Structure 1
Amino acid sequence: MSETPEQRSRTMRAVRSRDTAPEMVVRRFLHAAGLRFRLHDRRLPGVPDLVFPSRRVALFVHGCFWHQHPGCKAADRPKSRPDYWNQKLDGNVARDARHLVELAAAGWTALVIWECETRDPQRLAALAARVVAAKT
């Protein structure tokens, strides 16, 4: 069954870029660990999901599909419209890499946690340790 442009528009409007479930898991965990952060600092390349200004750490919570987590089952590409999806997802990966380089050049430590990793408390604890260990 094919969607009308209006139906597709309504569906795409519902796709969130902020305050996603994985992002909220990370935020709650880090806040409970005593870490304080800013959200979505538009002054930084890529608009990181969480920013720790005093430590100069920018954290991205990447969705496995949209950002193509290597080796993750959730990152499988759709079989329909491969030209569209390859261009779209490859562009996302290239943009992510560019943002990480720009942040490093500006003296920031950029960290990425993948959506599938947010379900593992040990991964979240390791992430908190990396933030704490960052220069102050």
Structure 2
Amino acid sequence: MAGLHRDSRNLTRFLWLRNPTLGVQESNIVTYAFKRVPFGLISSPFLLSGTIHYYLSKSSSNLAQRILRNFYVDNLFLEADSSHDAKLVYGETKEIFREAGMNVREFASNDAAFNKLIEQAEHTPLDEISKILGLK
């Protein structure tokens, strides 16, 4: 998760009850602020995109620049000429995002051998029908 700069935390403040059974009273209200970028807010896709762009633009990797050009909201589209190349792209993509504190978790391909490798590496079965941009 991406951390929030200390000066920006005040922008994510919210109120909560210390003890819900006491109801709303000034002495029962506590103020919290997020220390990490909260996902699920209307601005979350923008914040995710900005965070990804920030980390990728700092990288000198050719793949990082490809990723920047091929990212849309939370979908990434990359191509490879062979299963071997796809494995290399997979490994480097995982490493680039790991260095940014993020985990890329879903991969899909039209190459059955690559999909099998991903199922084993990610310890999760691939759906027969993948969703891209929210569509099946």
TM-score band by shorter chain is under 0.3
Q: TM-score, normalised by structure 1?
A: 0.27
Larger Rg: 2
Name the one with the larger helix percent: 1
For normalisation by structure 2, the TM-score amounts to 0.27
Where relative contact order (Cα < 8 A, 6+ residues apart) is larger, the structure is: 1
